[in-house]
Structure 1
Amino acid sequence: MPARGFHRSAARAVGVSALATALMAGTVTSVASAAPQAPQPATSPFCAPATASVLVGHRVPLLDWTENLAYDDAGNLWVSRMASGAVERFDADGERTATVPVDMPGAVRRGPDGMMYVLAGNNPIGMIPDLRQGRILRFDPDVADPVAKEFARGFGMPNGLDFDADGNAYLADTAGSVVKVRPDGTVDTQWSSRAPKNFQLDRGVNVGGFDGLVVTDGAVYVSLIQSVSGRILRIPLDDPGGATVAADLTVAGIPLLPDDMAAAPDGTLYVATASGRLVHVDPASGEHCSVLSGQPMTAVSFMPGSDSDLAVSTELGDVLHVRLGEAG
């Protein structure tokens, strides 16, 4: 089995075991003040079906696992590949133009300074306290041969990443919590200590597995891939202790395994899931529906200049071009 497949399977095995324990004990609870709503019907404009084609094809199935992706200011696409330990740059024609070595890369994001930031050490071994080797690296996306340099360190299993308007980074650490990192690379321990942690059932964290993350509308939205209900939490930027449930993504009571996500201009979310569904979510109401089904998906990014075209990474290794359906 390829390295990343093993690591993802190991993480999910931990999650399944924890879910079973919680369910048998009857301890799984939710945040009552933010009860998620039922999925919208398939006929709703909110659920207009999307179409997909291959933007960048895989070379070796699973070994080319695409963990995450993002665009830089020049319109180049950057793709994290776990098994090969690299972040790759692709031009508008889908040609690979650069490779940046990164140990077990997680999310890759354009920072407010125009640099590209990537998480390193996205590995379940980092869930062991004494083996925390997760880092944030950054590099200049415009040079011919970028070199990633350390920006921050000390994380367990860093997976999701995004920035607020002030340049602060927010990191989803599967090993335990959501972490705020200041523009100078130091951790805001006061904010981070108040944010939700794994297994805080009274705060809506029904098990855990902090995974994908996006910052929008004054809040951090984070997915819990090991959740019994496919949960997405909302964490206010100005009140990290006031987390609420934004949505529970299930079909027939089965969690959809939400991974990373992107925010649309209208404030809704598009969530990639390991169950092979691209899910449209209204975080204001919790309503959601699947707009595309196919191979297991890992992350979503809107294409530059478009609010209807997405790049979606997959476990097989393809990067998909997803065109959203008409909402009218």
Structure 2
Amino acid sequence: MYIGFDIGGTKTEIIVLDAHGEQHFKKRIPTEHDYQGFLNNIESLVLEAERSVGGACSVGIGLPGVLDPRTGLIKNANCTFLNGHQLKKDLDARLNRSVAIANDANCFALSEAVDGAAAGKSVVFGVILGTGCGGGLVVNQQVIGGLNANAGEWGHNPLPGFNSEIDGNPVQCFCGGKNCLEKFVSGTGFTRQYNQHSSAQLTGPEIFAKLESGDALAKQCYELFIDQLARALASLINSIDPDAIVVGGGLSNVSRIYDDVKQLIPNYTISDDVVINLYPAKYGDSSGIRGAAWLAR
């Protein structure tokens, strides 16, 4: 049995999967923002889950941050109370076992590579198009974290072929970079590009509704978004050429993007006869926590 945790700013969720991916336990509680209280809750949930399934489990944790491979400290977590702590070391001691920890985007990619939309594929890149733009790389069902734990940070590459006449004014990113992908190919990026030309400040779903009704501005912004996404995905194909790219996040539910972007990707790849396996996530919002459980294998 494999325990997976999904850690967010408001909720901490736990599941237990068996070797076939069947769920045997699930519970959600509010996230405790005091570090010692957080450790207490993780320990308590593990014990409760193991009582429920009748035996000891391996444990994996997905969180919005990374474990620095040099220092063992958590960094870049938006759950800021975790930053600077030896989370793995502390949990290993508490639970008397080795706990696996990975970024939640890596967990998403692992879930889809093990038994999701990309099951059976060797090299899988998971793309999250939500509030921001994240990614994770999995090879032979193993997360590739990289020397600096930066593998998969696709959203903080600059938009390929940025042209202010096409893409608008340069945009500063919170990471310190300029014109990062997530400022364009994300839910917030899409709405920003529409709303800067509109007096009505609309949400993403409202803009897509306008697109379906034939609104000219929505059509223009959508076509720009698809071109930007095609450039971004082509850069992945030109660099690692994955067997499958799986898309999660809110924009993954927009069914038309898959065919539309696949038509444009060959404009930006080194050859124009590329095979593109681009899929929506099988497990949707559950992929992150399922991937955390598979980490524990």
Structure 1-normalised TM-score?
Answer: 0.28
Q: Quick one: higher RCO (CA 8 Å, sep 6+), 1 or 2?
A: 2
| Higher share of residues assigned strand | 1
| Higher share of residues assigned helix | 2
Structure 2-normalised TM-score?
Answer: 0.30
